């Protein structure tokens, strides 16, 4: 299967959601644990117990302290996650196009236990992208 359109997968209120790069979203049919095995590790990484993120969805990595790191996501992706988690949408509305609003960047906290693996995988990803360009 092709997962290139998937920006992230996350768990919220006993449902799994996928958000696409174009701002569309829908229900994801696999658990976070199963998704880790399903998605290519060259493009996706689990950053905490409820989020798997495509490296392309990361706008910026911010270290707030040695133990606290936040990943700022692309605006369309972050706005859609905000709407889903803010209970602004029903499941039927998830299929509609996201409006590029003036919402703040969405931040995902990187689990401290996963920080080393994230840094290594993200650096590998960036090196691969540079080689392709």
Q: Which CATH architecture has domain 6-132?
A: Beta Barrel (2.40)
pLDDT tens, the chain, 133 aa long? 689 999 999 999 999 999 999 989 999 999 999 999 999 999 999 999 999 999 999 999 999 998 899 999 998 899 899 888 886 554 444 444 444 445 666 889 999 999 999 999 999 999 988 877 6
Q: What does the pLDDT read at residue 98?
A: 43
Query: Which residues are CB-neighbours of 59 under 8 A, at least 6 positions away?
Result: 72, 73, 74, 75, 105
**pLDDT given at position 97:** 44
Predicted confidence at residue 127, as pLDDT, reads 92
DSSP assignment of 45-56 equals EEEETTEEEEGG
């Amino acid at each position: 299967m092709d997962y290139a359109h998937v920006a992230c997968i996350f768990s919220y209120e006993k449902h799994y959601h996928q958000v696409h790069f174009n701002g569309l979203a829908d229900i994801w049919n696999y658990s976070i644990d199963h998704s880790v095995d399903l998605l290519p590790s060259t493009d996706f990484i689990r950053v905490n117990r409820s989020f798997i993120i495509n490296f392309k969805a990361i706008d910026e990595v911010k270290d707030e302290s040695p133990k606290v790191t936040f990943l700022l996501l692309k605006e369309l992706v972050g706005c859609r996650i905000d709407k889903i988690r803010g209970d602004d949408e029903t499941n039927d509305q998830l299929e509609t196009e996201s409006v590029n609003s003036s919402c703040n960047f969405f931040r995902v906290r990187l689990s401290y236990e996963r920080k080393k693996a994230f840094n290594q995988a993200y650096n590998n990803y960036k090196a691969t992208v540079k080689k392709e360009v």
